[in-house]
Amino acid sequence: MPLEEHTYSVLLVSASETFNASMHPLFSESGFFSVQTVPNISAAKRECAARAYDFVIVNAPLPDDMGMRFAVDACSSGGCVALLLVRGELYAQVSEKVMFQGVFTLAKPLSKSAVRTALSWMAAARERMRKMEVKTVSIEEKMAEIRLVNRAKWALIDREKMSEPEAHRFIEKQAMDKCVPRRAIAEAILREYDT
């Protein structure tokens, strides 16, 4: 399977103009990041409410909050990978609090190679999440189909006085004979009986 290049949306939460200026070239040199920068947690919350981001990077502390709770909340909202950047002396304490919530943590000061490595880890985590999202959708679709087919079976049992195995066989045979999914047969049965 060939490797695909994805575009990742990034919310950079940082009040430091110097830090922001040093980060933007790292995003642009990899060429697959769309970056929005906000100076505090309040603005970050508004941004996250307005749209979904693949990555949230919090340069702690911020004027209105440390950023730990926001990073954890960003991860729990699904589909987002969060990175919390903290002073070296706070790293062990903060990392212990947030790592089991799915938040990556790095100690400042940072090297460019550490940031590049963190971004690649975040991309790997996001891609793993994408695969899980696809699996979840397919499982939900399968469950919806099963519920629909079961409703059609009950309609056949109720209206045609079939047994459950007979109703099941009827739907399966109709789907095979007409070369259509069981879902289509179930929908036709439910339309016919208007249930």
Q: 100-158: per-residue pLDDT in tens?
A: 998 999 999 999 889 988 988 888 888 887 777 766 667 778 888 889 999 999 999 99
For residues 166 and 155, give the distance between their C-alpha atoms in angstroms, rounded to a whole number. 12
Helices (H), 161-179: 164-178
Give the CA count within 13 Å in the CB-facing half-sphere of 145. Answer: 12
Q: In what order do the strands lie in the sheet with 8-13?
A: 33-38, 8-13, 55-59, 81-87, 104-108
3-state secondary structure of 18: helix
Domain with CATH 1.10.10.10 in the chain: 137-193
Is 80 exceeded by the pLDDT of residue 81? Answer: yes
Q: Does domain 8-110 have CATH number 3.40.50.2300?
A: yes
Residue 115 CA, distance from chain mean position:
22
Into which CATH architecture does domain 137-193 fall? Orthogonal Bundle (1.10)
- Residue showing tokens 């947030």: 98
For residues 144 and 89, give the distance between their C-alpha atoms in angstroms, rounded to a whole number. 51
pLDDT at residue 141, rounded to an integer: 82
pTM of the entire predicted model: 0.66
Domain with CATH 3.40.50.2300 in the chain: 8-110
Partners of 66 in the beta sheet?
none
